């Protein structure tokens, strides 16, 4: 046998983290079947995947197909929309939402269904939009990894009263839109959101829909009062409802989102759509990158330093892209392992032993989100 002076035994252990889409939509609605329906017309409670608006209108004619087509009309818009039919006479939105829970979607819409006292009812016969709020909250908290999502709902045409968004409806997993359109404004806004990356603010993003603007008084009612003078001018006020507007400073007379609020305007809630979506996105990126470490990395100095490196590989690109302004990773156990073993206190030694015995490592990742400008105050002084 030939003497091998250099011995190489190659092994292949390539790992690519799973990715999560950020702009898939599920639309639930009624179908009005023609006199001669196609053989593959949408069936009640059965999710159908669409990448072509014409196919959606063919298989789901009526409100469902029209809303899906409106979502696809946005530019940029979604690349994939799921449609779920409910019975026209007795729509069961709860069952349809259960079918949507397993889908890989990030936005959920009820086709052509405005928020009013009936659809938003919480007590007694629970309304459809109340069920939507419950769905996005519960699936985001207890669903599988990557199932986090937001709901989009519209107010009734011409309504400028944000007080209807209260109680459990005031969720930061919801987006509410005031409009003056005859079309499904919720589906249009969902399509607009789907077309942008999670960290992009929704403020002044164009919506392909016909909707006359609200009056300044109505907009102030929807948004609340903002302090524009003084040493500390206020930021966006926000009462949990967005509106469609046509700013005179933007050429073309297009329709745009007047703000990027979530329904959660109370303290402690995530106020802006991009915050919720970015938290979901970054959380999933970290989990997808770190899953390979489970069962492989050791609870040792080298192992925990490798863990830090894995997290940095996710956060560094986000910082370079200015999604994050800064971040800090802290693993308390690593600080103990870096100490001279002879200098450890009994408590510190016990913490290391407990980590080895229980096989649990605690890490704290603090990120500074690089938010977009929503208000600009300029002191213009002539001399």
Distances (CA, A) of 339 to 128, 333, 344, 359: 58, 10, 7, 20
Percent of the chain residues topping a pLDDT of 90: 90
For residues 86 and 29, the answer to whether their CB atoms sit within 8 Å is yes
What 3-state class would DSSP assign to 109? strand
**DSSP track, 331-376:** -HHHHHHTS-GGG--HHHHHHHHHHHHHT----EEEEEE-PPP---
User: What pTM value is reported for the model?
Assistant: 0.94
According to the model, what pLDDT value does residue 233 have?
80
| H-only helix segments in the chain | 53-59, 63-73, 93-100, 128-142, 185-194, 216-223, 273-290, 301-320, 332-337, 346-358
DSSP 212: P
d(CA 61, CA 29): 10
Contact present, 147 and 211 (Cβ < 8 Å): no
Which residues are CB-contacts of 177 (< 8 A; sequence separation ≥ 6)?
152, 153, 154, 155, 185, 186, 189, 241, 242, 243, 244, 257
Q: How far apart are CA 286 and CA 294, in angstroms?
A: 13
Mean pLDDT, contiguous 10-residue spans, the chain (383 residues)? 88 88 97 90 97 97 98 97 96 97 97 97 90 98 95 98 96 98 98 98 98 97 89 88 96 96 94 98 97 95 96 97 97 96 94 96 96 91 90
Question: Whole-angstrom Cα distance, residue 294 to residue 145?
Answer: 16
Q: Which residues contact 42 (CB under 8 A, 6 or more apart)?
A: 31, 48, 59, 60, 64, 83, 85
CA-based nearest residue to 310, from 283, 337, 292, 284? 292
Tokens linked to 47: 């999710």
Q: Give the position of tokens 């999670």.
A: 198
């Amino acid at each position: 046998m030939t003497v091998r002076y250099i011995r190489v035994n190659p092994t292949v252990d390539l790992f690519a983290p799973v990715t999560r889409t950020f702009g898939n939509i599920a639309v639930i609605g009624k179908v009005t079947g023609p006199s001669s329906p196609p053989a593959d017309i949408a069936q009640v409670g059965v999710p159908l995947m669409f990448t072509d608006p014409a196919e959606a209108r063919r298989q789901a004619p009526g409100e469902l197909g029209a809303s899906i087509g409106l979502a696809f009309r946005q530019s940029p818009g979604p690349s994939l929309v799921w449609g779920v039919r409910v019975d026209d006479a007795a729509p069961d939105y709860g069952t349809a939402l259960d079918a949507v829970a397993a889908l890989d979607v990030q936005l959920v819409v009820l086709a052509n269904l405005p928020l009013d006292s009936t659809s938003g009812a919480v007590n007694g016969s629970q309304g459809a939009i109340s069920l939507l709020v419950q769905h996005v909250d519960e699936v985001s908290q207890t669903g599988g990894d990557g199932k986090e999502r937001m709901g989009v709902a519209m107010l009734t045409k011409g309504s400028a009263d944000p007080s209807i968004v209260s109680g459990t409806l005031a969720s930061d997993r919801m987006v509410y839109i005031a409009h003056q359109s005859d079309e499904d404004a919720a589906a249009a806004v969902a399509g607009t959101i789907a077309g942008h990356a999670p960290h992009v603010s929704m403020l002044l993003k164009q919506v392909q829909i016909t909707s006359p603007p609200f009056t300044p008084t109505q907009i102030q009612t929807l948004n609340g009062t903002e302090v524009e003078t003084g040493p500390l001018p206020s930021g966006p006020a926000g009462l949990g409802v967005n509106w469609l507007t046509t700013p005179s400073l933007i050429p073309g007379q297009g329709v745009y989102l007047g703000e990027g609020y979530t329904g959660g305007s109370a303290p402690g809630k995530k106020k802006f759509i991009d915050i919720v979506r970015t938290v979901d996105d970054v959380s999933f990126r970290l989990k997808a990158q770190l899953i390979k470490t489970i069962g492989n990395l050791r609870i040792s100095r080298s192992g925990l330093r490798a863990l830090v490196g894995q997290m940095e590989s996710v956060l560094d690109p986000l910082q370079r892209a200015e999604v994050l302004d800064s971040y800090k990773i802290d693993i308390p156990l690593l600080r103990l392992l870096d100490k001279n073993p002879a200098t450890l206190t009994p408590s510190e030694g016990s913490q290391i032993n407990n980590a080895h015995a229980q096989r649990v490592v605690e890490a704290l990742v603090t990120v500074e989100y690089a938010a977009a400008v929503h208000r600009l105050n300029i002191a213009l002084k002539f001399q």
